[in-house]
């Protein structure tokens, strides 16, 4: 069981570039999430999904897009990267019958 995996671990982008952060889980969880963590802060929800084909905005969705074509994968797309998107990004998954929310190892993104 790999749990929740994220790629890449680190990335440096130039302003205006685009990229996709990959997230996959092998626990057959319906619920998946993207959070961002700014320095010295807690995590804030960007987008979430309650199942394949269903996504919705969280607290800080501007500048991001997501898709959920399969139960396993939940990629996060950054269009026109800005310095304000410099952060650590965590993907997580959960199911209705388990209290724990499982987190990936995170992606550290720097936009210069």
Q: Any contact of residue 101 with another protein (CB under 8 A)? A: yes
Specify whether the CB–CB gap between 92 and 32 falls below 8 A: yes
- Residue 19 three-state SS: strand
Q: Which stretch binds another protein (CB under 8 A): 10-18, 19-27, 69-77, 93-101?
A: 93-101
Q: Which of 30, 20, 25 is nearest to 51 (CA)?
A: 30
**Terminus-to-terminus CA distance in the chain, angstroms?**
36
Residues of this chain, 23-82, that bind another protein according to CB under 8 A: 31, 33, 35, 40-45, 48, 50, 56, 58
Binding site for another protein (CB under 8 A): 31, 33, 35, 40-45, 48, 50, 56, 58, 88, 90, 92, 94, 96, 99-103, 105-106, 108
């Amino acid at each position: 069981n790999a749990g929740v995996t994220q790629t890449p671990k680190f990335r440096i982008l130039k302003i205006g570039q685009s990229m996709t952060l990959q997230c996959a889980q092998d626990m057959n969880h319906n619920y998946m999430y993207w959070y961002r963590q700014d320095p010295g802060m807690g995590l804030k929800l960007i987008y979430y999904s309650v199942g394949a084909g269903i996504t919705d905005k969280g607290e800080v969705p501007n500048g991001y897009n997501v898709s959920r074509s399969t139960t396993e994968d939940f990629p996060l797309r950054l269009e026109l990267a800005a310095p304000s998107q410099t952060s650590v990004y965590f993907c997580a998954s959960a199911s209705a019958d388990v209290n724990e929310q499982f987190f990936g190892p995170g992606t550290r993104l720097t936009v210069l």
